[in-house]
């Protein structure tokens, strides 16, 4: 007898795992031994788990995202038909395909999550269900070959980013909450960074529409040789044309001016370039072959965030001072575990719990003080306001740009 899945975790796992694999019950089969005696042999229960998302794409080729042509210079307009550019694009097919695999995992997990996330769930249940499903779809136990690109953020209301529950967190999702669901999927270090805002009360729709349209405007504006400030200016113009009425008061939607998009490098979620969401005078240009996370944040508050709340997100510092002193032997062992399991990918305390680390806070704090690990605490606007986020990953091919994480949902 089987029962319908009744939690978010079960709903997503039901899709992620191979449901057609046979589960044989323990039974007895009669076999004849060398002596002629009849012996009884037991069959073991064996529900076989196949290779995650690969089972749906046996040829190993994953769906392309949304294509957009470059605009602007005459050179960019010719890229689609330029044979040299087409050749360069084909040479990177393996890389593009790994991004597409991560994007397909993201789409499948988020579309199931969107249907099943409900008020009354704990934030831990929401985050861990999504994370476990990404791991199941990835089809590998090696977290450096595939899986979570960074912890699942479930930031609520005035908290715009970088909140995921630590162990013991009792926060429960409410009907009037505005939750930003931001999680990454990586395949061999190629990271998909993609986010949406989940609400249940329709009164927030104008806020969500503002941020969604602003993100799509940023995507449309981005491209090879485009200046960062020009993307920010286009986003700001669209975002701040919206307003939202809450409890009889009208609030302008503001860009959160100190939150930005960014380029993505292998195993490095922030690659060094920032994509503003307001005009800021940055003349740095996007370049051929780069990958960018185009993300925008809107707020009914000040439009400016500061650190607030208990830290949960951490990441290895790639610019750490050489030979940084680590006094505690426990800190040295923790650093080895971080290198082995996460490398330069972001992680959270729940991930340390998951790999069996215990009583690690003192050691973790020492690694942070030594500059080997960086803390990324929650980012909050003024209490009582609401913030929203939408984000997609784009690939700047030599010929066209690909919104690789695009789905039917957003």
Q: Which residues are annotated as a binding site for a divalent metal cation?
A: 182, 193, 262, 295, 391
Whether 307 sits among the annotated catalytic residues: the reply is no
Whether 193 sits among the annotated catalytic residues: the reply is yes
Binding site, annotated residues: 162, 182, 193, 262, 270, 295, 391
Q: CA 173, 385, 208 angle in degrees (round to 5)?
A: 70
Whether 69 sits among the annotated catalytic residues: the reply is no
Whether 391 sits among the annotated catalytic residues: the reply is yes
Which one from 98, 104, 131, 182 is the annotated catalytic residue?
A: 182
Rounded Cα distance, 77 and 219, in Å: 17
Rounded Cα distance, 238 and 220, in Å: 12
- 161 close to 153: Cβ distance less than 8 angstroms: yes
- 385 close to 260: Cβ distance less than 8 angstroms: no
Rounded Cα distance, 32 and 325, in Å: 67
Binding site, annotated residues for substrate: 162, 270
Whether 375 sits among the annotated catalytic residues: the reply is no
Q: Are strands 28-32 and 379-380 parallel, antiparallel or unpaired?
A: unpaired
Helix (H) or strand (E) holding 104: helix 93-116
Residue 38 Cα distances to 25, 28, 33, 35, angstroms: 21, 12, 6, 9
370 closest CA partner among 314, 312, 331, 329: 331
Whether 270 sits among the annotated catalytic residues: the reply is yes
Which one from 128, 295, 357, 381 is the annotated catalytic residue?
A: 295
In order, the DSSP letters of 219-256 are: HHH--TT-BHHHHHHHHHHHHTT-EEEETTEEEE-EE-
The encoded tokens of residue 21 equal 């694999």
Instruction: For residue 262, give the 3-state DSSP assignment.
Output: strand
- 77 close to 70: Cβ distance less than 8 angstroms: yes
Which one from 262, 313, 392, 397 is the annotated catalytic residue?
A: 262
Helices of type H across 20-92 = 74-77, 83-91
Rounded Cα distance, 324 and 331, in Å: 12
- 186 close to 142: Cβ distance less than 8 angstroms: no
Which one from 13, 128, 177, 193 is the annotated catalytic residue?
A: 193
17 closest CA partner among 5, 26, 35: 5
The encoded tokens of residue 132 equal 């476990």
Which one from 391, 392, 397, 402 is the annotated catalytic residue?
A: 391
Cα dihedral across residues 271, 103, 118, 21: positive or negative: negative
Write out the catalytic residue numbers.
182, 193, 262, 270, 295, 391
């Amino acid at each position: 007898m089987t029962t319908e899945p009744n939690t978010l975790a079960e709903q997503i796992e039901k899709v992620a795992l191979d449901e057609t694999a046979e589960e044989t019950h323990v039974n007895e089969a009669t076999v004849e031994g060398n002596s002629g005696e009849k012996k009884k042999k037991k069959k073991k229960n064996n529900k076989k788990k196949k290779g995650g998302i690969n089972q749906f794409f046996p040829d190993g080729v994953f769906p392309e995202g949304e294509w957009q042509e470059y605009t602007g210079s005459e050179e960019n307009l010719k890229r689609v038909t330029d044979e040299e550019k087409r050749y360069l694009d084909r040479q990177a097919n393996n890389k593009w395909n790994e991004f597409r695999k991560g994007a397909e995992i993201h789409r499948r997990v988020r579309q199931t999550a969107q249907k099943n996330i409900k008020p009354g769930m704990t934030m831990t249940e929401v985050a861990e269900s999504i994370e476990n499903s990404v791991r199941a779809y990835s089809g590998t136990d090696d977290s450096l070959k595939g899986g979570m690109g960074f912890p699942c953020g479930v930031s609520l209301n005035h908290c715009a980013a970088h909140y995921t529950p630590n162990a013991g967190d009792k926060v429960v999702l409410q009907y009037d909450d505005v939750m930003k669901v931001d999680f990454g999927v990586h395949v061999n270090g190629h990271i998909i960074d993609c986010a949406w805002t989940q609400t249940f009360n329709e009164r927030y729709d104008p806020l969500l529409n503002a941020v969604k349209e602003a993100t799509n405007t940023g995507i449309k504006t981005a491209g090879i040789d485009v200046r960062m400030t020009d993307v920010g200016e286009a986003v700001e113009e669209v975002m701040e044309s919206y307003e939202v009425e809450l409890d009889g008061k009208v609030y302008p939607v503001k860009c959160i001016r100190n939150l930005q998009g960014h380029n993505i490098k292998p195993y490095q979620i922030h690659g060094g370039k920032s994509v503003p969401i307001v005009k800021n005078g940055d003349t740095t240009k996007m370049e051929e072959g780069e990958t960018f996370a185009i993300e925008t944040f809107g707020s009914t508050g000040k439009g400016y965030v500061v650190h607030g709340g208990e830290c949960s997100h951490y990441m290895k510092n790639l610019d750490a001072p050489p030979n940084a002193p680590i006094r505690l032997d426990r800190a040295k062992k923790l650093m080895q575990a971080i290198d082995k399991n996460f490398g330069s990918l972001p992680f959270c305390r729940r991930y340390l719990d998951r790999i069996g680390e215990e009583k690690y806070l003192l050691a973790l704090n020492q690694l942070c003080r030594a500059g080997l690990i960086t803390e990324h605490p929650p980012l909050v606007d003024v209490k009582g306001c609401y913030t929203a986020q939408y984000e997609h990953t784009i690939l700047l091919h030599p010929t066209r740009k690909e919104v690789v994480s695009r789905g039917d949902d957003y």
